Amino acid sequence: MKLYPLFADLSRRAVLVVGGGVVAERKAAALLAAGAQVTVGASALTPQLQRLARQGRIAHRAGEFSPAWLEYAWLVVAATDDRALNARVAELAGLRRVFVNVVDDAELSSFHVPAVIDRAPLVVAISSGGAAPMLARLVRERLETLLDHSLGPLAQLAARLRKRIRRRHPDLAARRRFYTELFSGPVAALLRKGQPEQAALAAEQALRAAPAGQAGSVVLVGAGPGDAGLLTLRGLRALNEADVILHDRLVSAEVLELARRDAERIEVGKQAGNHHSTQDEIHALLLEHALAGRRVVRLKGGDPFVFGRGGEELEFLRGHGIPYEVVPGITAALACAAHAGVPLTHRDHAQSVRFVTAHCRESLDTLDWPALAQERQTLAVYMGVAGLDSLRERLLAHGRAATTPFALIENGSRPDQRVVTGTLANLPERALAHAVRSPALLILGEVAALAGRLAWFGAPPLGESVPAPQHLRPLRTTQINREPVRRRA
């Protein structure tokens, strides 16, 4: 984060605007709206600035810029069309430790004026750090359509009730639940319909109602493969309502950044050979926090029900009478394959796909190897890279061709994604040569030959070129039948 976000209270504080043109007029108007005591310094003023000066709403310092103008100023805005003068204003303001904004000059500015969405007292500010002001304005335009104007009256109502809400709900978790209902329930709906009196009555009734018992709950949320953009909307909502988040090691920092700032975060990740938390310990934490009346999110990489032990955790919660729900996530096989350009099924190449986990030799012994070794199917193998030797040995022993293509995807969907390609014959050697590390997912089958041709995300695949098998036909071109369609009577 290049800039530290800050909302300044300028009410009755002196602010200097250097320049008397249209830009200075616009800046002065925004400062006046914030309650600042504005002084405009310039040889000449626009007609609107002249009117404001005559009305006593701004002070006017006529003539050329003087360092004395900076006395008593809390902020300075340089809005002239003379860059040398703007630079001098910025330099002198900096020597006095006064923040300065030079319009359209990020390098000279010590603070930036963001694009603003005004739902007073709720204000949303968007800044690109001066890199792309037009992009910030575009984001503002999009958010304007999403944020209803009733949010302002809703914030005002919450402010009037704040002290009473704190007295009525001294417990933080209970108070948070009350606010969630206030902001998303009937009160907010009445304000959206333009019925402020009815909304106030509904808020009073909710406040007088007996506090609900502290019933905790657990939500299993699939965090996806790592890219925060692949988190579902329901998953995002759960993260913003959570009191406690128990997250796996593989959940990315970008996903955790989307959670509510004051939520307690507990890492309970397990890693091959280094189990930070056993499953029993995770169960105990879920029970402890739920019984304390907290909203718990069990945040898992990928999808909770695909090799995520989600079923075990639901069985435990059900056995202890804890309410739960599940928010699916994009599992690693789907995301990694998509980001590597490898379709898991293809009508020319593979008619089925199998999801397999093989973390250790014991788990390998339980698999149906004759079925896994069949051709024209795709294996998506969730496993540590340490087991690749045994995987190759067993597949070859049960008839899988040594020339079967593979794509080994490390950190799939993340900025540091790598894809290593080769054939089953040299799978472990290719992984070792490129030092592949967990998290990594193996895609084995005819479709893996498409990785080089269809790659679109990140760096090109590493390793040897894998030719497509002979029986794979080139991509079809669709022909449009231009004859008129005859409909039955």
Please say if 300 is a catalytic residue.
Answer: no
Instruction: Report the alpha-carbon angle 300-301-302, nearest 5.
Output: 110
**C-alpha neighbours within 13 Å on the C-beta side of residue 373:** 16
**Strand extents, DSSP E, 223-301:** 244-247, 264-267, 270-271, 274-275, 295-300
**C-alpha neighbours within 13 Å on the C-beta side of residue 390:** 16
Residue with tokens 């995520």: 308
The catalytic position among 118, 270, 348, 389 is 270
Residue with tokens 């193998």: 381
Residue with tokens 């404001």: 52
User: What six digits make up the tokens of 127?
Assistant: 């800044």
Backbone angles phi, psi at 78, to 5 degrees: -100, 115
Radius of gyration of the chain (CA): 31
Amino acid identity, residue 145? T
CA–CA separation, 104 and 433 (whole Å): 50
Q: Find residue 297's DSSP bridge partners.
A: 219, 245
H/E element holding 483? Answer: none
Helix (H, G, I), strand (E, B), or coil: what is residue 173?
Answer: helix
CB of 355 within 8 A of CB of 307? yes
Q: Is the peptide bond before 153 cis (omega within 30 degrees of 0)?
A: no
Please say if 270 is a catalytic residue.
Answer: yes
Instruction: Report the alpha-carbon angle 480-485-488, nearest 5.
Output: 150
**Strand extents, DSSP E, 415-465:** 418-423, 440-444
Greatest alpha-carbon pair distance for the chain in Å reads 94
Q: Where are the alpha helices (DSSP H) in 169-278?
A: 172-184, 186-192, 196-208, 233-241, 253-256
The catalytic position among 27, 248, 300, 303 is 248
120-151 per-residue burial string, b: 16 or more CB within 10 A, e: under 16: eeeebbbbbebeebeebeebbeeeeeeeeebb
Helix (H, G, I), strand (E, B), or coil: what is residue 127?
Answer: coil
CA–CA separation, 83 and 72 (whole Å): 24
Residues with active-site annotation: 248, 270
